Structure 1
Amino acid sequence: MTYATVMVSLALDQPNEARLQVAGEFAERFEAAIVGVAAAQFAPPLYFADGAEAQGLIDQGEACVKRRLAGLEAQFRAATRNRDGHAQWRSAMDFPARFVLAQARCADILVSGGRSPAFSDAFALASPKDLVMQAGRPLLVVPDGVTWLDLRSVLVAWKDTPEARRALAGALPMLRKAGEVTVAEIPEGDEARAAVMARVTDVAAWLARHGITATARVPDGGRNQTAAEQLETLAGDVGAGLIVAGAYGHSRFRELILGGVTQYLVAQTARCVLLSH
């Protein structure tokens, strides 16, 4: 398996430089095509208007959205000008999440920014929580302060679930290029350490059969820390530039509510995260 097509999701009212930089470098590293994608809808004003006045407001609003999408395209074109015909742009006047999720069919992996407000604007933003829970593709979350995909040390945050297995399978091409790989699981409750170590040892052995050398690790202590805090400590200990993890959550009306560790991974600003649901 490799990555033949990388898709990067751009957003209005957010910095896009980091995700463009990482997605472009990612495409070069894997000799992949790159697709830029963005969408937005004009949000009608809440006050009452009708007739010609209402139509005028709609026309002005839609023209503004089109100009801003054109600006995102120009930014994408500038960032990928050296891709020699392997870059493609897609945009639409549409709800961002709906449009990006539909376009994900053409990509092996999605790249998104990491900022995800508690209640995101569905007219202007395809948030990472929307994408990871529904795309059916691995999602690489790039915080605004990250300028490259650091694969010198990769931490696999293991949990014995289908989501974690899908994330690990989706990360294989990256793990083959990693300097060091650590597979770690944080015990839950009073779970026996030996049983947890047996699971991560199995995962490390599976990776070895794919030509990837990995170290199995179960953190000590941490009973006064949340799972997210223990994961952050471990990531710092191994110097992880990337965390690979399953994504967990559920839908509540339109908003997708992520689990504690998944929410931490989306919101943290220190490193890239590869998530899969």
Structure 2
Amino acid sequence: MSIASIMVAVDTGESAARRVRVAADLARRFEASLTGVAARKLPNLGPAADIVAAQASYDHERVKLADELARARDVFQAAAGTDIRAGWRQAEDGAEAFLVRQARGTDVIVVGRDAQRAGHDAMVPDPGTVLMESGRPVLVVPPGVERLGAARIVIAWKDAPEARRAVSAALPFVGRADKVLVAAAGSEARFEGAEEVSDFLCRHGAHVTTNLLDAPAGEIADAILRFAKREDADLIVMGGYGHSRLRELLFGGVTRDMLRTSPLCCLMSH
């Protein structure tokens, strides 16, 4: 398996250039094309008695959006460089909705993990929404990261369809890694088939070890992150939202915790 097309969400925030550099480096490594994507909806100005004032306000917002999209494109072009096949797509649209539609033609989507920190910035797509709706593997890049070596990869394994899809999506990375560590955490870890997954990855040419991590149900994300740090890994592969997203938002879950706190890149599939 290989990666032929990568799509990266771009905005005007301080993490955007680093995220593009991560995506561009992967595009070089896999000889893939890279497409930058940016979008934002115009704000709803609401009813106005003064039609002239309403039109002026709308025109002002359109000019502002055009300037933001132009700056986002400049960020993309400067960070991507000129030695890869690159394209650009932008729209007056919701950031998540536009990115999800464009994802029909890509292998991997690269997004930031800082949507909550962005607050009012509607150009920053929410990674959880993109993961749930795109039907594509999503590489979530935390703030401060600008290169992904992926020489040591942790597979956060749980025997669920989402995790199986994540392992398949990770095969291009796995085949190039120095070491792959399959880690199953929790009270049921020994029944999750981690050894079989390790054997599967070995058949794809990976150097694999199997690891069972002892962790209470509410501390699985912390256990995985501690293990990844101890093993000097820089990529975590995992399924996303095995439970409903609403349940995770209400009661917590591994996906939610990783999206909030992981200092490492996470390749997720739903």
TM-score, scaled to structure 1:
0.89
Please give the residue correspondences for 1:166-205 in structure 2 after superposition, counting only pairs within 5 Å.
166-188=165-187, 191=188, 194-196=190-192, 199-205=193-199
More helix by share: 2
Which residue of structure 1 lines up, in the alignment, with residue 266 of structure 2?
273
Q: Is 1:6 matched up with 2:6?
A: yes
Looking at structure 2, the residues matched to 259 and 225 of structure 1 have their Cα atoms a distance apart, in angstroms, of: 8
Looking at structure 2, the residues matched to 201 and 194 of structure 1 have their Cα atoms a distance apart, in angstroms, of: 9
Looking at structure 2, the residues matched to 178 and 58 of structure 1 have their Cα atoms a distance apart, in angstroms, of: 51
> Which amino acid is the alignment partner of residue 129 of structure 1?
G
Paired residues, number? 268
Q: Secondary structure at the match of 1:41?
A: coil
Deviates most, 147-156 or 109-118: 109-118
Which residue of structure 1 lines up, in the alignment, with residue 19 of structure 2?
19
Looking at structure 1, the residues matched to 108 and 61 of structure 2 have their Cα atoms a distance apart, in angstroms, of: 32
Q: Is 1:147 matched up with 2:155?
A: no
Which residue of structure 2 lines up, in the alignment, with residue 241 of structure 1?
234
Cα pair 1:108 1:137 within 8 Å, conserved: yes
Looking at structure 2, the residues matched to 50 and 105 of structure 1 have their Cα atoms a distance apart, in angstroms, of: 42
Q: Which runs of 5+ in 2 are unaligned?
A: none
Looking at structure 1, the residues matched to 44 and 11 of structure 2 have their Cα atoms a distance apart, in angstroms, of: 19
Looking at structure 1, the residues matched to 222 and 79 of structure 2 have their Cα atoms a distance apart, in angstroms, of: 35
Looking at structure 1, the residues matched to 158 and 219 of structure 2 have their Cα atoms a distance apart, in angstroms, of: 15
Q: Secondary structure at the match of 2:77?
A: helix
Q: Secondary structure at the match of 2:109?
A: strand
Q: Residues 125 and 144 of structure 1: is their aligned pair in 2 closer, same or farther, counting only changes over 3 Å?
A: same
> Which amino acid is the alignment partner of residue 185 of structure 1?
A
Q: Secondary structure at the match of 1:185?
A: strand
Looking at structure 1, the residues matched to 257 and 268 of structure 2 have their Cα atoms a distance apart, in angstroms, of: 12
Which residue of structure 1 lines up, in the alignment, with residue 37 of structure 2?
37
Looking at structure 2, the residues matched to 8 and 66 of structure 1 have their Cα atoms a distance apart, in angstroms, of: 19
Please give the residue correspondences for 1:248-267 in structure 2 after superposition, counting only pairs within 5 Å.
248=241, 249-250=243-244, 260-267=253-260
1:44 Cα deviation (Å)?
3.0
Q: Residues 57 and 224 of structure 1: is their aligned pair in 2 closer, same or farther, counting only changes over 3 Å?
A: closer
Cα pair 1:7 1:36 within 8 Å, conserved: yes
1:120 Cα deviation (Å)?
6.1
> Which amino acid is the alignment partner of residue 62 of structure 1?
R
TM-score, scaled to structure 2:
0.91
Looking at structure 2, the residues matched to 74 and 57 of structure 1 have their Cα atoms a distance apart, in angstroms, of: 26
Looking at structure 2, the residues matched to 257 and 65 of structure 1 have their Cα atoms a distance apart, in angstroms, of: 34
Q: Say what the alpha-carbon RMSD is for the aligned residues.
A: 2.4
> Which amino acid is the alignment partner of residue 208 of structure 1?
C
Q: Which runs of 5+ in 1 are unaligned?
A: none
Please give the residue correspondences for 1:72-151 in structure 2 after superposition, counting only pairs within 5 Å.
72-83=72-83, 86-117=85-116, 123-151=122-150
Looking at structure 2, the residues matched to 139 and 64 of structure 1 have their Cα atoms a distance apart, in angstroms, of: 29
> Which amino acid is the alignment partner of residue 29 of structure 1?
R
1:50 Cα deviation (Å)?
3.5
Looking at structure 1, the residues matched to 245 and 216 of structure 2 have their Cα atoms a distance apart, in angstroms, of: 30
Q: Residues 8 and 203 of structure 1: is their aligned pair in 2 closer, same or farther, counting only changes over 3 Å?
A: same
